[in-house]
Structure 1
């Protein structure tokens, strides 16, 4: 394993321990979130030797079902080779995503004059709308432009679960997460349009959750938010800044900012009902 991937592996183990209890299941560690907020996942135990088997994955899945938490696993393919095959043998669907690391300085993105970029503060009056952007952005089935815009964002903001909103606000106050937003200054696309965040530990930062309202896509907002977060992380003393891209098309957006592919991030979850039906079809 390279020094860089070993550093990222230590980061992946450290981050959830702030807000989760860790259960050891042999070659896998299950992180169980304390309190409200997005649930965590299982991942390879730091420093464990030996292959992860399909039986190991099945045992953790049973524990996740017992706890009524998502059956989710995350890992780096090059660090834990063979876990993808074990997860698939245990009945999970594995997504393989480009993992990229910032090389050098982030490249600022040109933006339309009606867009403002900023780091989000805990007292931001648009806090609910900023958080709702991600819900709308990731609720779209693709990364293409679409009709969902400020109206859908504001509707989502009005129905945010209280626990998730409180956990997000607490992360801002504690500094555990740093959030950035691109906002429209006026016209049809007003207010928060694109958001992103980074989490950090051990002088390593991972940029996560970069999403743009479908109606505001193809304007360079995601690249601009990513560059802003990367610059903030470097200024805060982070020595490594990395992220995972949804697919190759999204990876190319990050490459324009200065990120380079170094590995493959894997996410394993139960297949969607349609996928299961296809598998059962004669």
Structure 2
């Protein structure tokens, strides 16, 4: 499963507006943002990597005006971390990734007073992004580039879902990237603070995952950033499967 997940990350970055091939690495660049969480690199699973490859990767990031940063499944490049640390990179985080298959998915009831909806208009997309930004501690606003990014995800076969109150307010939501070889990453699961502790995060996660499987995906995966989110994902059928590393050069 590790190789399959890593291959899906390579495919996701290769589909960015301005991907760069840098030896055994793929850098996914998006001209609409300088965010390191969107502009990062990953190695091709099993490819031999040398210190010279790391030096070339850093140069490619610098030439593009982006911070050198990688995310990857550790077992797919077991010697890479040591090369990166020698080059001055520092570990940001180590995460477990969790996987769900169609037979494991549990669909919890949607909390009363909420509806799951796929955003269609620019207003709806901006509301979803703003709610996600607020939930993750940023300003609750969305740029034109942010909206265009989610529109591109949807047009390529990805999924975006927003949770809407009876009054029409966006309480949260999430996304999934277009599946590649039957695999898709679920990300951005967020609920605004005043709507938490009602089961909404689980309903959003299951709603996105169920739509992926209905469209033919075989595997959905995600990462848990806290014990609370870990419990949410496990309740709807996700199980820890492997390790991922976030590492960057300031």
Q: TM-score, normalised by structure 1?
A: 0.76
Corresponding position of 1:109: 108
Q: Does the residue aligned with 1:70 lie in a helix, a strand or coil?
A: coil
TM superposition shift of 1:270: 4.2
Corresponding position of 2:206: 227
Q: Does the residue aligned with 2:71 lie in a helix, a strand or coil?
A: strand
Of the three residues 153, 158, 178, the one matched with 2:159 is 178
Q: Does the residue aligned with 1:218 lie in a helix, a strand or coil?
A: coil
Q: Which whole-Å CA distance do the structure 2 matches of 1:32 and 1:195 have between them?
A: 24
Corresponding position of 1:195: 173
Q: Which whole-Å CA distance do the structure 1 matches of 2:5 and 2:188 have between them?
A: 18
Larger Rg over CA atoms: 1
> Which aligned pairs between 1:68-147 and structure 2 lie closer than 5 A?
68-89=65-86, 90-103=88-101, 104-118=103-117, 120-123=118-121, 125-139=123-137
Q: Which whole-Å CA distance do the structure 2 matches of 1:177 and 1:5 have between them?
A: 22
Q: Which 4+ residue blocks in structure 1 deviate beyond 4 angstroms?
A: none
* CA 1:209–1:44: 2 relative to 1, 3 Å: same
TM superposition shift of 1:268: 1.4
* CA 1:171–1:28: 2 relative to 1, 3 Å: closer
* CA 1:84–1:250: 2 relative to 1, 3 Å: farther
Q: How many residues align?
A: 244
Q: TM-score, normalised by structure 2?
A: 0.85
1:29 has 2:26 as partner: yes
In structure 1, runs of 5+ residues without a counterpart are: 141-151, 272-282
* CA 1:47–1:85: 2 relative to 1, 3 Å: closer
TM superposition shift of 1:257: 0.7
Corresponding position of 1:9: 6
Q: Does the residue aligned with 1:78 lie in a helix, a strand or coil?
A: helix
1:262 has 2:241 as partner: yes
Q: Which whole-Å CA distance do the structure 2 matches of 1:122 and 1:70 have between them?
A: 33
Corresponding position of 2:220: 241
TM superposition shift of 1:260: 0.6
TM superposition shift of 1:59: 4.0
Asked if the contact 1:97/1:247 (under 8 Å) is kept, the reply is no
Q: RMSD of the TM alignment (CA)? A: 2.5
